[in-house]
Structure 1
Amino acid sequence: MTKAKLYEYRADLLLLTVAIAWGVTFLMVQEAIESTPVYSFLFFRFGLATILMFFIAFKYLKQINKKTVLYGILLGTFLFSAFATQTFGLAYTKSSIVAFITGLNVICVPFLAFFIFKENVRRNVFIASLVAVFGLYLLTMSGELTLGFGEFLTLICAFLFALHIIFTGKYSKEVNVYLLVLFQLITVTVLSLVFSLSLDTTTFNLTYDYTFFKAVIVTAVFATVYAFLIQTYMQQFTTATKTAVIFTMEPVSASIYGYIAGGEILTSIQIGGAVLIIFATLIAELQFKKKP
């Protein structure tokens, strides 16, 4: 096995831990935003993450340049805009439909990667994307899929998440990863504060209870600092399309954690969808030797 292939496998494995971290913290976030406005919660989550990331990236501050700042702002804008359109989408359609459509970024990524950066997509990875979409449908869908305003907003969300994955892979190879993540988190924090002050009923006058602090601290550490640092660093060694396939494991881990910790019921159809998604991640790892 070559060193490059070993790095790729390691990157894919660590990206899988990111998907699991997002899935496991989903229930915590759901509980927290029952009493905390969404953008206010995002402000505290990304604000704490920014502070932590500042100390992690402190020794690299001398390497800050215009390119790093611009790339970080662009990635942060993609990320926040995806969160925003997803949140507004939830106001107009079912969460299960939003979860499914958001997951369609796994199909958007290979096409965007080709058209923007002329990145060739291996056939097995493209097949894995299709399998993952079908698995997502079985796992998440519980209502009729139409194209209303909420669905349209969520399609934009999926497109934005796809752009975030693609450009993360591109920019992580060009600038300091730690600083790139730092400026990305700063951007999301600032935009979250602006949106919260503009749209939320309150930003700071909150119920600062155990549920709030647990959700903020855990998501800031694991689902934000760890997740985006690992994603940004590891996408240097794997493709954007494989990253998107691996990230479809997020709803799988969320469903499993919800079943274990929250007593949520999984139907046989949902279990079948989860198995298909796991199968899709394995397909994406396959290597086929070219015929001589």
Structure 2
Amino acid sequence: MSFRPNRLMHLADWLLLVVAFVWGTSYGVVKHALAFYPVLGLLALRFALAFVLLSPALRSLRGVSRKTLGGALLMGALLLAIFLCEAFGLAFTRASNAAFLVSLCVVFTPMVEWALLRRKPVRVEWVAVAISLAGAWLLTGGLHALNGGDALILLAALLRGFSVCVTKRVMHDGALDPLAVTAVQAGCVASGSAVLALIFAPAQWQPLPSLAAHFSFWGCVLWLVLGATLFAFFVQNYAVRRSSPTRVALLMGSEPAFGALFACVWLGERLDAAAWIGGALIVAASLLATVQFKRADAATLAEAANA
């Protein structure tokens, strides 16, 4: 009997935590980059560079059915919608509201998975969801009066839940290479952002900052392309094939905690005791999900060995 599938799943768990850290740092990095370049232009630049780097992987899509390719394009469209909702939502709401509402993806995902994939979350998953939600509340200072920006962030959180479940369905049979899917997603976001800018916001197209005078901007772009896009989306597409959407969402739910820690270290922001407790609860919820599933995996392997 081989333990390789089980080990791959555990490796995927740890990689998802690394992605949560990378995406947690991306808030501060994007905030810095937006001081030099507008939203749609930055999205188009970031994902166009990622698409160019990943374009050789598109060769693996030859012979893929139209239905499967359509699923990959749907994943790209969902990602475009998520980034647009988050980017423009942040312009009209408080940062604490946005952080809390985005974390509601952890709550939405089990419901979407139940409705879309017909998998009912187990009790420990609901417990982990509740712990993560309480942690996000403490970390961000709770939820204040809702406005239009909040509605966009809330929609982004819901779309994140749909995106993970759609990824699970599309990637389930293993017909698609995760790198190729990441390339398709990058192409969708880059082209969508460019078209929207050309039609609705021509002012978003500005000359790119020079490398010599704006080295920090291009350093941010490099981190966003290599870390927060190429690495992060490849890992998510790879891991969701070997796990459940709810489990992926719980592990990724540690993103706000990593983001707060990064803000303290890099941006010099300060957190009160309640925020630190909230961050600890979010991390605890992610660890609870991981440990619980490891126990379930061990039990499954034991039953197979005794069969």
**Normalization by structure 1: what TM-score?**
0.92
Measured after TM superposition, the shift of residue 148 of structure 1 is 2.4
1:249 to 2:254 alignment: yes
Q: Does 1:131 align with 2:131?
A: yes
Q: Equivalent residue for 1:69? A: 69
Alpha-carbon shift at residue 152 of structure 1 (Å): 1.6
Q: Secondary structure at the match of 2:62?
A: helix
- The equivalent of 1:156 in structure 2 is 155
Q: Are residues 1:100 and 2:100 paired?
A: yes
1:113 corresponds in structure 2 to: 113
Q: CA deviation at 1:119?
A: 1.3
Letter in 1 for 2:154: L
> 3-state SS of the aligned residue for 1:201?
helix
Q: Is the 8 A contact 2:109 2:161 kept in 1?
A: yes
Q: Which residue of 1 aligns with 2:218?
A: 213
Alignment: residue pair count: 288
Aligned to 2:55: 54
Q: Is the 8 A contact 1:89 1:151 kept in 2?
A: yes
Question: Does the C-alpha gap of structure 1 residues 255 and 235 become closer, same or farther in structure 2, counting only changes over 3 Å?
Answer: same
CA deviation after TM superposition for structure 1 residue 3, in Å: 4.3
Which residue of structure 1 lines up, in the alignment, with residue 17 of structure 2?
16
Query: Is 1:225 aligned with 2:230?
Result: yes
2:283 equivalent to 1:278: yes
CA distance in structure 1 between the aligned counterparts of 2:85 and 2:189, rounded to whole angstroms: 14
Q: What is the identity, as a one-letter code, of the residue corresponding to 2:204?
A: T
Does the 8 A contact of 2:39 with 2:204 survive in 1? no
Give secondary structure in 2 for the equivalent of 1:275.
helix
Q: Which amino acid aligns with 1:25?
A: S
Over residues 62-121 of structure 1, what are the superposed CA-to-partner deviations in whole Å (9 max), with x where a residue is unaligned?
A: 344423431221111111111111222223211210111011010000011011110121
CA distance in 2, matches of 1:2, 1:121: 25
Give the corresponding residue for 2:305. none
Relative to structure 2, which stretch is displaced further, 121-130 or 38-47?
121-130
One-letter amino acid of the counterpart of residue 153, structure 1: L
Give the structure 1 partner of residue 304 of structure 2. Answer: none
Structure 1 residue 2: Cα displacement: 4.8
**Rounded Cα–Cα distance in structure 2 between residues aligned with 1:65 and 1:278:** 40
Conservation of the 8 A alpha-carbon contact between 1:40 and 1:200: no
CA contact (8 A) 1:40 1:196 kept: yes
Corresponding residue of 1:147: 146
Distance 2:83 2:204 in 1: 19
Distance in 2 (alpha carbons) for counterparts of 1:33 and 1:200: 17
2:204 corresponding residue in structure 1: 202
Name 2:303's counterpart in structure 1: none
Following superposition, the deviation at residue 239 of structure 1 comes to: 0.8
Amino acid in structure 2 at the alignment position of 1:238: S
- Provide the aligned C-alpha RMSD in A: 2.0
How far the C-alpha of 1:61 sits from its partner, in A, is 4.5
Match of 2:33 in 1: 32
Residue 186 of structure 2 corresponds to residue 185 of structure 1? yes
Separation in 1 of the partners of 2:224 and 2:63?
28
Q: 2: CA distance between counterparts of 1:7 and 1:265?
A: 38
Q: What code does the residue aligned with 1:81 have?
A: A
CA displacement 1:8-29 (0-9 Å, x = unmatched): 2211111111111111232111
* C-alpha distance in structure 2 between counterparts of 1:61 and 1:151, whole Å: 38
1-structure distance, mates of 2:268, 2:165? 36
Report deviation, 1:168.
1.1
Seen in structure 2, the aligned counterparts of structure 1 residues 74 and 61 have a Cα distance that, compared at 3 Å, is: closer
Gaps of 5+ in 1: none
- For normalisation by structure 2, the TM-score amounts to 0.88
Write the deviation string for residues 220-257 of structure 1: whole angstroms up to 9, x where unpaired.
Answer: 11110111111101111111001111111112111112
Specify which of 239, 244, 252 is matched with residue 239 of structure 1: 244
Deviates more, 1:77-86 or 1:58-67: 58-67
TM-aligned CA distance change 1:64 to 1:52, over 3 Å = farther
User: How far apart are the structure 1 equivalents of 2:276 and 2:259?
Assistant: 12
Write the distance in 2 (CA, Å) between the matches of 1:92 and 1:187. Answer: 25
